[in-house]
Every structure is written in structure tokens, then in C-alpha cells.
């Protein structure tokens, strides 16, 4: 089975992934990349993100509601039947081992979640995290962005 990874280009500064799907919604281009579920490089990057998650938790506690100056985001796996899509949620709070946020991605196959929906995601389910400043310059995290960008295919 292959996993489908997702990301909103507008917020994440142009890094994306694509198999053969793309969509433009509200002036944002969404693409996908097809990876095997046991992709060794992606799994190492996920482990790296988890090993450094304390930095992200601290940033959320300090800057989580400062939307004007920071974008704090996590990537996690959303599952519906046999479909997996790894997508981004903008985070504003951390409590009891989970992040509260707003889903900012665009699913291709998953139908039970919508852009703008409020979510709670367990810390253990985080595959990547990233902190951007007000100008969408990456401050920290984003461990998988370059790798996934290298997997893009022309549509």
C-alpha cells in the first residue's frame, strides 16, 4: 500500500509533493506525492521530527496563538478505509500530550475531514512539524519538506 502525502503550498513556501493529482483552491496549489509506507528516508525524517518535538511543544506554548508572527504546523496521517493521506494542521495549543489546531490542507481521497476543521492530534502521531515566521520563512523543523519536494513529478 502506498501513502499519499499532502501539503498546502501557500503556507509552506512552495514545497510540495505530487503523484498525478493536483488541485487549485483559493489560489493555493495542492499536489501529492506517492511514497511506499515503508520508505526508509521518510521514516528516518519522521523519527528525527519526533526526537526534536520538545522544541515544537515549547514554541506552541509560547507562540501558539500569535498568528500574526508565527505559523506552527504539524503533519500527521489521516486514514479512511485503506486510504492514507499525510497532511498539515496549523497548531495553536498543546495540552495533555496533544495539539489543538485547524486543518489547513486539502485531502484528495479522504472525505471525512475538511479544510478549516478544528482537530486534536496526539503528539505520538506527529510525522513532521515546522515553525514559520510572519514572512513564511522557516525557523525550525520541516524535516521532510526537502525530501518530499525531491519526489515531485511534473503533472
Percent helix, percent strand, percent coil in the chain, to nearest 5: 20, 45, 35
Residue-wise pLDDT for 28-81, tens only, equals 555 677 788 889 999 999 999 999 999 999 999 999 999 899 999 999 999 999
Q: Is the pTM of this model over 0.85?
A: no
Domain boundaries, the chain: 2-150
Is there a contact between 138 and 73 (Cβ–Cβ < 8 Å)?
no
Residue 104 has pLDDT above 70, yes or no: yes
Amino acid at each position: 500500500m502506498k501513502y499519499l502525502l499532502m501539503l498546502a503550498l501557500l503556507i509552506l513556501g512552495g514545497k510540495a509533493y505530487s503523484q498525478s493529482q493536483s488541485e487549485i483552491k483559493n489560489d493555493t496549489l495542492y499536489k501529492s506525492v506517492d511514497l511506499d509506507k515503508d520508505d526508509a528516508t521518510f521514516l528516518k525524517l519522521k523519527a528525527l521530527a519526533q526526537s526534536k518535538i520538545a522544541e515544537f511543544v515549547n514554541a506552541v506554548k509560547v507562540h501558539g496563538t500569535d498568528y500574526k508572527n508565527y505559523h506552527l504546523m504539524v503533519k500527521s496521517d489521516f486514514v479512511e478505509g485503506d486510504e492514507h493521506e499525510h497532511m498539515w494542521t496549523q497548531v495553536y495549543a498543546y495540552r495533555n500530550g496533544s495539539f489543538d489546531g485547524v486543518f489547513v490542507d486539502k485531502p484528495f481521497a479522504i472525505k471525512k475531514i475538511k479544510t478549516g476543521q478544528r482537530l486534536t492530534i496526539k503528539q505520538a502521531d506527529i510525522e513532521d512539524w515546522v515553525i514559520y515566521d510572519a514572512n513564511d520563512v522557516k525557523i525550525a523543523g520541516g524535516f521532510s519538506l526537502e525530501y518530499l519536494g525531491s519526489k515531485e513529478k511534473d503533472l
